[in-house]
Structure 1
Amino acid sequence: MITAGAAVQGAAHLARGQGCQDAFKAVDLGEAAVLAVSDGAGGRERSALGAHIAVDTACRILAGSVPEATDAPETWTAWIAAAGAEVVLEYRRAVEGVLSATGRPSGRPTAPFGPADPPPPVDAGALAATLVAAVVRPPWVAFLSVGDCFGTVLTREPAGTGTGTAPQRRERCHLVLPPPPPGAPETVFLSSPGAGLRLRSFVVWEPQLSGVVLATDGCAALTLDHPSVRELPPEAGPLPSERFFCGLAATLRANGGDAAPLRDLLSGPEAARTGDDLTVLCALTDGR
């Protein structure tokens, strides 16, 4: 399996002298891969650290006990739901540990507390971040998400429906985890109250699976098409750009997973118009 990713500082962040607040991480398990992408909340001074904690936590927990490819749907569904809840809990613990070790938030007493008088909760929102993660074990993909990142699945035409060998069969892209629509409620972060209750988790079983791509919300304008491009009504919602996703997959397979072309795409003039940080991470089958 080929994994490749890139994170690029947004033009608006660069203009303000603000570093990239996105993070990504991938773990290659041989027959499976774990992907995680996080977007630190803009305006939160330490959100970049929160994003790195989020992807580290997600990859550690998800890589620990991936179900078998032959396991039942119920096994996969229950596993990713439980793992997602654990990710939210462990992220909160890690962030609270960081904040407690580096000084109490403003207004929090510094005197020691007894067992019957616990300290008030740490303001974990200082490191607020969203998260999308995926476990890829063909034919399965398990997703979990908190916030506004999004995910796309790539498939190939079944054998016998195209021409030539597998790599020549047409590849398609499917937006299985869309970003929130315009006017949606305020973004949920891993540190938001009740984040565990607003976690989204689901699994996809796809025999023709050829790849998975995760992205932060800043990439939407670059990677998603308006439905009018395919002569569909606005209510059809955003559609994944075949030019971007399938073209990127073909390039990465051809160069063995060198992320330089992906970084160039995210650094180009079309991407710069968003002003936001841009991060894309993918896992691709080798086409055989």
Structure 2
Amino acid sequence: MIIAGAVVQGTGHLAAGLGCQDAFKAVDLGATAVLAVADGAGGRERSALGAHIAVDTACRVLAEDIPDADDPPEVWTRWTVAGGARVVADYLRAVEGVLKATAPSEPVEAGALAATMVAAVVRPPWAAFVSVGDCFGTVLTRGPAGTGNAQREGERCHLVLPPPAPGTPGPVFLSSPGAALRVRTFVVWEPELSGVVLATDGCAALTLDHPSARELPPQAGPLPSERFFCGLAATLRANGGDAAPLRALLSGPQAARTGDDLTVLCALTEGS
């Protein structure tokens, strides 16, 4: 499996003298990959550390006792739900330990390390997702598209975990009260699964298309950009997973307009 990721500091953060508050981590288990990206809450003093704790925790927890590829859906669903609960609990314990060690005489305030996070376990034909907050996820598939003479082979992208719609309440953080009850977990079984891509919310403008781009009504919601996702997958397979082209995409002028930190992490099956 090809695993590649990149994080680029946002131009707005750079101009304000803020460090990058995103983080990502991946665990390569051969035919299986565990991915996690996190976005530290802007304005929180130690949110960058919180983001790193989040991805470390998610990868450690979700790399344990992964179901087999031929296990039934109920096994994958139970395992994913339990994993999501453990990620939140272990994150809070880790944050509390850090705060007590660095400021033992002060009240513990986990919100100082607030972060959103999405993680995925990719074991084709399964992809299991755990999410808290506004990061998003896309699945890639291979197979025939269309019917009759229009049928063609190709890779397609599917936004399975969209970012929140504009105007919705602010994101939930791993440190938010009741976060354990607001974890989103789900599994995807897809025999044509060819990849999973995770991204922080700053990447939305770069990687998602408005539905009008495909002559669809606004209520269709954001759509994954085939140019970005399928083009990126083809490039990474061709170069063996060198993340330099991904980093260049996240550093380009279109990405810079968001001002936010940008992080993309993917796992792709090999082959053309």
Does 1:264 pair with 2:248? yes
1:170 aligned residue (154, 172, 181) = 154
Letter in 2 for 1:154: L
Deviation string for 1:18-38 (max 9, x for gaps)? 111000000001110000000
Contact 1:158–1:208 (Cα < 8 Å) also in 2: no
5 Å-filtered alignment, 1:95-244, equals 95-104=95-104, 108=107, 122-158=108-144, 169-244=153-228
SS in 2 for 1:152: strand
Aligned equivalents of 2:70 and 2:163: distance in 1?
A: 30
Contact 1:133–1:145 (Cα < 8 Å) also in 2: yes
Aligned equivalents of 2:7 and 2:235: distance in 1?
A: 18
Match of 2:19 in 1: 19
Structure 1 position 237, deviation (Å): 0.2
Match of 1:48 in 2: 48
Aligned equivalents of 2:109 and 2:165: distance in 1?
A: 29
Structure 1 position 287, deviation (Å): 2.4
Contact 1:149–1:215 (Cα < 8 Å) also in 2: yes
Structure 1 position 105, deviation (Å): 7.2
Letter in 2 for 1:139: P
Q: Is the alpha carbon distance of 1:103 and 1:76 closer, same or farther for their aligned partners in structure 2, counting shifts above 3 Å? A: same
Structure 1 position 157, deviation (Å): 1.1
SS in 2 for 1:157: strand
Contact 1:252–1:259 (Cα < 8 Å) also in 2: yes
Does 1:64 pair with 2:48? no
| Consecutive unaligned residues in structure 2, runs of 5 or more | none
Aligned equivalents of 1:175 and 1:201: distance in 2?
A: 15
- Number of residue pairs matched? 270
Aligned equivalents of 1:138 and 1:219: distance in 2?
A: 25
Aligned equivalents of 1:207 and 1:237: distance in 2?
A: 26
Contact 1:130–1:189 (Cα < 8 Å) also in 2: yes
Aligned equivalents of 2:9 and 2:19: distance in 1?
A: 7
Aligned equivalents of 1:227 and 1:287: distance in 2?
A: 31
Aligned equivalents of 1:213 and 1:105: distance in 2?
A: 42
Contact 1:99–1:105 (Cα < 8 Å) also in 2: no
Structure 1 runs of 4+ off > 4 angstroms? none
Structure 1 length normalisation: TM-score? 0.91
Aligned equivalents of 1:174 and 1:255: distance in 2?
A: 24
Structure 1 position 4, deviation (Å): 0.1
Aligned equivalents of 1:97 and 1:87: distance in 2?
A: 15
SS in 2 for 1:77: helix
Aligned equivalents of 2:217 and 2:144: distance in 1?
A: 29
Structure 2 length normalisation: TM-score? 0.96
Aligned equivalents of 2:125 and 2:229: distance in 1?
A: 19
SS in 1 for 2:90: helix
Aligned equivalents of 1:171 and 1:105: distance in 2?
A: 55
State the identity as a percent: 80
SS in 2 for 1:97: helix
Deviation string for 1:65-101 (max 9, x for gaps)? 1100000000000000000000000000000000000
Match of 2:75 in 1: 75
Letter in 2 for 1:171: E
Aligned equivalents of 1:105 and 1:143: distance in 2?
A: 38
Letter in 1 for 2:8: V
Aligned equivalents of 1:105 and 1:189: distance in 2?
A: 25
Contact 2:144–2:154 (Cα < 8 Å) also in 1: no
Structure 1 position 281, deviation (Å): 0.1
Q: Is the alpha carbon distance of 1:64 and 1:269 closer, same or farther for their aligned partners in structure 2, counting shifts above 3 Å? A: same
Structure 1 position 169, deviation (Å): 3.0
Deviation string for 1:42-77 (max 9, x for gaps)? 001110000000000000010011100000000000
SS in 2 for 1:48: helix
| Consecutive unaligned residues in structure 1, runs of 5 or more | 109-121, 163-167
